[in-house]
């Protein structure tokens, strides 16, 4: 008598798409392996597949209890109802029925399981094999499908119960939470906590089940507050079942024990990469024992053994967070955390210095992209770096600060805070401190309420630069001090720009362009129109000559040129310069879309020009968009131009009343792509029909075109056409952008501050 699959005691939750995918694979191949880390749901998915198997006898064999490879053949024969294991191929060949054999938990007897797989499949073409294992059997004909974590709510969409409950991770948590705490449900209070728990465990099913079971003893808010120590928290207390599933640590201990010594060493050192890694980084941090060339092979082994998530196109290797925390525990137990952190710090410091060789220079788009992707790793080691290598911390953070316009608002805030701490820990009055102070100025000048602090920082940087007698530092410090003085003391600003410009001509062309832009504005205000035009022209030439200068330098120069034209009364020329600045902002792309901060000033300025030209609608739309960008970034850049007085906006709203407020609100709802298109072309974004609006809602729910067609009782082709027209009207390239637009336009109020601050699109 053959053994069938076990009957689970809990319901199967979610995994609809995964089931469809795996059923399709199983129908098209004779040998399918479900691979993944412990606790990812391999066995449960296999049980569900076995239940759904049609026209086949199903035999289930659990290899977890076995300790010797030689026992595998006997256990499989018993599961198939064969009394004589040595005759298994002969007996299987004589059977007329189709047999689906499920081998569960093969990783610890992998060689023996592979041998049995070959014998079983070779006995009859009617036989099919489904395997669960933490690593593939590596047998000819094997199709490996890696079981993903459960889906999580989109972090860029509102944390609303109705929306979040559609994610499989949240569905599973709610189902198991109701077993631990009958009456538990997802509401606006509990939803953020549930999502936080699911995110903290990276959607790993076993971890979610163990976390939900904790609700027998604590509230969801208390559970969410204890996520700093996942491994201690995720320990079950129920009797029965596989002991490996009673604690997340036990499941990971099982996987770790199957690694050889080299693999264990690399695995635990990878824990320092909180933000994922590329192979070059792994070689730098993990290559001390195995040698850098061998690291790639070891990482590949760890991928095969489901402890490292392989990179999708354009992404990085990473460890699921519970697995990374386990590796970090192992790193600490082996007294290697200090050395691994030091190697990681050296790698990051060298990388940033290589990508931005000029301590106060601007990175190219590709260089900025390479350092931004390491930001999470840098943030994780900053406490150590500030404590042990303070000067390096100041230099690294200063380089990030110099390039703040290419960072997300979250990054800017982190850089500002940590750079302040690093400077507090580094009182030495040398070039490094000046570099740090000038970097801090770059960030602080983005916030209108920081002016008194900005002035103190500028004065200190200039004083130290003068003490050191370093012309390069003096030129940079004078230029930044002048920029701060533009609004409060134009005479001082002019004097400092005049002193800085000749020194910057010696080779600092990017900084020269910025200084000339600032001086041009002051010259125009003083009535020196010719001098202002000469400075703008020289500044643009400097940008073109400076191969390392980013479009950010050009953006600032063009905004200054717009201000010069505005003060001269040439409004068409001012508008043209602003359009050029917007194009430059779209070109200054570090991989995340246009430099959003650099769009705020041009949008505001164009709004004012619209009001002056009598186009109230354009003025209000662009003003609304600029306001939204300021709100979502938390950044209020002080303009080059004299528009601090927003009286024109007040007058428009007084004159037009509710209509003005409605148009301004419409401007707030524009995406960045729509706002850029409107600013450049003056073409209003196409309005959506009622049916198209309903389709956008279904797209936001994650439905496919086929599912939308079924929901709305329309043809698949019609649904596809609706989605295509929506993307054309809104200027989008992906369904994800439609979903985000729905969140912004329909439920803007509840969007979390964190989600808004990280929102980037085009």
Model confidence pLDDT, tens digit, residues 673-709:
778 878 887 766 665 666 777 788 888 878 888 888 8
| pLDDT tens-digit readout, 242-252 | 555 456 788 88
**For the segment 316-374, what is each residue's pLDDT rounded down to a tens digit?**
899 988 889 889 989 999 999 999 999 999 999 999 888 887 766 666 667 777 878 88
- Asked if residue 613 has pLDDT above 60, the reply is yes
Residue 110 CA, chain-centre distance (Å), reads 36
pLDDT at residue 757 above 60? Answer: no
pLDDT at 267 over 90: yes
* In the block, residue with structure tokens 């110099």: 402
The residues with which 309 forms a beta bridge, in sequence order, are 318
Lay out the sheet containing 143-146: strands in order across. Answer: 57-62, 99-104, 127-133, 31-35, 143-146
Residue 641 confidence (pLDDT) above 70: no
Averaged confidence pLDDT in the chain: 81
Using DSSP's 3-state secondary structure scheme, residue 686 falls into coil
**Confidence grade of residue 77 (pLDDT, cut at 50, 70, 90):** confident
Closest CA to 323 of 273, 384, 371: 273
The proportion of the chain whose per-residue pLDDT surpasses 70, expressed as a percent, equals 86
Question: Judging by beta carbons within 10 Å of its beta carbon (0-12, 13-18, 19+), is residue 130 exposed, middle or buried?
Answer: buried
The rounded distance, in Å, linking the Cα atoms of 84 and 71 is 13
Q: At what angle do helices 451-468 and 471-485 cross, to 10 degrees?
A: 160
DSSP string, 702-725: T--HHHHHHHHT--HHHHHHHHHH
Q: How far is Cα 697 from Cα 739, in angstroms, rounded to an integer?
A: 7
pLDDT at 544: 74
Q: What are phi and psi of 58, to 5 degrees?
A: -105, 130
Alpha-carbon span 284 to 348, nearest angstrom: 10
Distance, CA of 515 to CA of 687 (rounded, Å): 43
What average pLDDT does range 383-398 have in this prediction?
Answer: 92
Token pair for 270: 């990878």
With 0.85 as the threshold, say if the pTM is over it: no
pLDDT digits (tens, 9 = 90+) for 498-545: 999 999 888 777 788 888 988 988 898 888 889 988 998 888 888 777
Q: What is the pLDDT of residue 34?
A: 92
Res 762: pLDDT? 29
Query: 309 with 319: CB under 8 angstroms?
Result: yes
Dist CA 47 CA 39 (whole Å) = 15
Alpha-helix runs per DSSP H in 588-634: 597-612, 616-633
What per-residue confidence (pLDDT) applies to 687?
59
């Amino acid at each position: 008598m053959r053994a069938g699959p076990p009957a689970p005691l809990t319901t199967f939750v979610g995994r609809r798409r995964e089931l469809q995918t795996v059923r399709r694979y199983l129908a098209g191949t004779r040998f399918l392996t479900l691979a993944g880390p412990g606790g990812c749901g391999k066995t449960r998915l296999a049980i569900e597949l076995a239940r759904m198997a049609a026209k086949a006898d199903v035999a289930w064999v659990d290899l977890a209890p076995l300790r010797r490879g030689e026992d595998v053949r006997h256990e499989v024969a018993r599961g198939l109802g064969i009394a004589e294991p040595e005759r298994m191929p002969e007996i299987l060949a004589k059977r007329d029925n189709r047999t689906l054999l499920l081998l569960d938990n093969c990783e610890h007897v992998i060689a023996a399981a592979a041998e049995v797989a070959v014998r079983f499949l070779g006995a009859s073409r009617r036989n099919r094999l489904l395997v669960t294992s933490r690593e593939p059997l590596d047998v000819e004909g094997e199709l490996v499908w890696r079981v993903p974590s459960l889906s999580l709510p989109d972090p860029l969409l509102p944390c609303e119960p109705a929306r979040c409950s559609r994610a499989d991770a949240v569905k599973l948590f709610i189902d198991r939470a109701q077993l631990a705490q009958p009456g538990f449900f997802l509401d606006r209070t509990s939803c953020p906590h549930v999502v936080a728990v699911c995110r903290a465990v990276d959607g790993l099913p076993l971890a979610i089940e163990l976390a939900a079971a904790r609700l027998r003893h604590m509230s969801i808010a208390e559970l969410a507050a204890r996520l700093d120590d996942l491994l201690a928290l995720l320990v079950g207390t129920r009797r029965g079942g596989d002991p490996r599933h009673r604690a997340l640590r036990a499941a990971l201990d099982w996987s770790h024990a199957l690694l050889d010594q080299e693999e264990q060493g690399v695995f635990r050192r990878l824990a320092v990469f909180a933000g994922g890694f590329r192979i070059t980084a792994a070689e730098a941090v993990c290559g001390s024992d195995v040698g850098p060339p061998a690291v790639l092979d070891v990482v590949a082994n760890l991928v095969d053994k489901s402890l490292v998530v392989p990179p999708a196109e354009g992404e990085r290797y990473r460890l699921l967070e519970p697995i990374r925390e386990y590796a970090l525990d192992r790193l600490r137990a082996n007294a290697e955390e200090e050395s691994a952190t030091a190697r990681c710090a050296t790698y990051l410091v060298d990388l940033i210095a290589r990508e931005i060789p000029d301590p106060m220079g601007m990175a190219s788009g590709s260089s900025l992209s390479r350092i931004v992707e390491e930001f999470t790793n840098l943030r994780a080691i900053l406490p150590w770096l500030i404590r042990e290598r303070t000067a390096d911390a100041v230099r690294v953070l200063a380089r990030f600060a110099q390039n703040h316009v290419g960072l997300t608002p979250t990054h800017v805030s982190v850089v500002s805070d940590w750079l302040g701490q690093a400077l507090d820990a580094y009182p030495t009055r040398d070039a490094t401190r000046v570099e740090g102070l000038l970097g801090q100025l770059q960030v602080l000048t983005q916030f209108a309420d920081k002016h008194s602090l900005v002035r103190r920082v500028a004065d200190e940087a200039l004083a130290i630069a003068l003490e050191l007698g370093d012309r390069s530092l003096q030129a940079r410090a004078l230029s930044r001090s002048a920029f701060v003085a533009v609004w409060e003391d134009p005479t001082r600003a002019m004097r400092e720009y005049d002193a800085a410009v000749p020194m910057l001509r010696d080779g600092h062309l990017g900084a020269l362009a910025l200084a000339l832009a600032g001086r041009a504005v002051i010259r125009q205000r003083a009535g020196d129109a010719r001098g202002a035009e000469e400075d703008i022209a020289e500044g643009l030439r400097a940008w073109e000559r400076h191969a390392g200068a980013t479009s950010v330098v050009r953006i600032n120069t063009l905004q200054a040129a717009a201000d010069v034209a505005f003060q001269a009364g040439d409004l068409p020329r001012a508008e043209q310069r602003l359009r050029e600045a917007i194009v430059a902002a779209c070109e200054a792309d570090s991989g995340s879309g246009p430099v959003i901060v650099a769009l705020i000033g041009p949008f505001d300025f164009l709004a004012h020009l619209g009001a002056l030209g009598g186009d109230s609608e354009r003025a209000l739309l662009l003003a609304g968009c600029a306001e939204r960008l300021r709100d979502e970034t938390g950044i209020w850049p002080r303009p080059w131009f004299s528009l601090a007085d927003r009286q024109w906006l007040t007058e428009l709203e007084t004159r037009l009343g509710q209509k003005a407020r409605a148009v301004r609100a419409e401007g707030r709802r524009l995406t960045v792509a729509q706002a850029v298109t409107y600013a450049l072309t003056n073409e209003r974004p196409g309005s959506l029909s009622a049916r198209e609006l309903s389709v956008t809602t279904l797209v936001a729910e994650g439905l496919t075109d086929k599912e939308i067609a079924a929901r709305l009782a329309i043809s698949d082709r019609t649904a596809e056409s609706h989605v295509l027209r929506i993307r054309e009207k809104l200027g989008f390239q992906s369904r994800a952008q439609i979903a985000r637009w729905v969140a912004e336009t329909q439920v803007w109020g509840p969007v979390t501050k964190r989600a808004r601050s990280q929102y980037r699109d085009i």
